Amino acid sequence: MQTEIIIAGFGGQGVLFAGQVLAYAAMDGGLHVTWIPSYGPEMRGGTANCTVIIGDEEIGAPLVKHPKAVIALNLPSLDKYEPLVAEGGALLVNSSLIDHQVARADVRVVYVPANEIAERLGDKRLTNMVMVGALLAATGALDMQVVKSALKAHLPAKHHKLLPANYDALDEGAQIAREALAQAV
């Protein structure tokens, strides 16, 4: 079994870090993983995306044409990746920055007000972890506890004071996704 994930947004949204967290969690969980970052030359505000592939067998190629899941943190990312999500896949939309509905009816869509949740939790930089939590609940790609353990294991010790807020962000995102998917049934 293999899960292909694309996380996309603009620089400064924590796109690459979100992908790294998933990659570390997969490795720590004994799975095979690839993580490929891609970003423009700008430090902040330019485009950024990464591809994460998680599998229980060797991964043949790190490139993905039709990912099973996409996190779209901004409108240009949604416009680019909505057509590419595999049929039956999950499309997680940051509804804080994207104000229109997804056109496709053949994918599971979860609208997450990630920026608002992050700000309510006290730090706008938590937006990426809110979306990762939603991804985990929508796809089951990884166990939440494995991701939380990977955060603790791979986050530099000087940032460990941020772990409780990151855990809360993951949990809140997962809750939003569970509620949205339950209503869709």
Best CA proximity match to 22, nearest among 44, 46, 54: 54
Please, which residues have CB within 8 angstroms of residue 78's CB and are 6 or more apart in sequence? 72, 91, 93, 98, 102
User: 3-state DSSP call for residue 156?
Assistant: coil
Q: According to the model, what pLDDT value does residue 45 have? A: 67
Domain of residue 113, CATH code:
3.40.920.10
And the tokens for 109? 């869509």
Best CA proximity match to 135, nearest among 104, 166, 178: 178
Global pTM? 0.95
The answer to whether 36 and 47 are in contact (CB under 8 A) is: no
DSSP secondary structure letters along 81-131: HGGGSPTT-EEEEETTT--S----SSSEEEEE-HHHHHHHHT-GGGHHHHH
CA torsion 52→182→112→76, rounded to 10°?
Answer: 60
Average confidence (pLDDT) per 10 residues, the chain, 185 residues: 95 94 97 92 76 96 94 97 98 96 96 98 97 98 97 95 97 97 85
- The number of distinct structural domains making up the chain is 1
Q: According to the model, what pLDDT value does residue 42 have? A: 60
Q: According to the model, what pLDDT value does residue 184 have? A: 78
Range of the domain at 114: 2-184
